[in-house]
Amino acid sequence: MAFCESIHQREFDVEGIKGVLAENLNELRRLWDKKQIGVMVDPEWKIIESLRPDVVIDAIMAKRNLGTRKDEAPLVVGVGPGFTAPCGAG
């Protein structure tokens, strides 16, 4: 099960946690205040600049990196082809 079903159904419950489709950043923050998972459709990945998250996890099912950058958050994790770990220690 995945919260992406919220895109089609507007709301979707996964093991007692509700995912809800959010249309904008203000709506997304209201959902977080209610301890709900906000799901947004943002194919151009523009919301990242407004969110300024501590962590970004790119687990998009793609054959390559579609544009995730390591400067998008203090911790960025890329899963799959097209991602490389930093070299060296420290």
Predicted confidence (pLDDT) per residue in 28-61, tens digit? 999 999 988 999 998 888 888 898 999 988 888 8
The token duo for 45 is: 């990945």
Rounded CA gap, 1 and 20, in Å? 14
Helix (H) or strand (E) holding 44: none
CA angle, 76 then 78 then 79, to 5°: 150
Q: Model pTM? A: 0.71
pLDDT score, position 88: 46
Report the DSSP pairing between strands 37-39 and 55-58: unpaired
Predicted confidence (pLDDT) per residue in 74-85, tens digit? 999 988 887 777
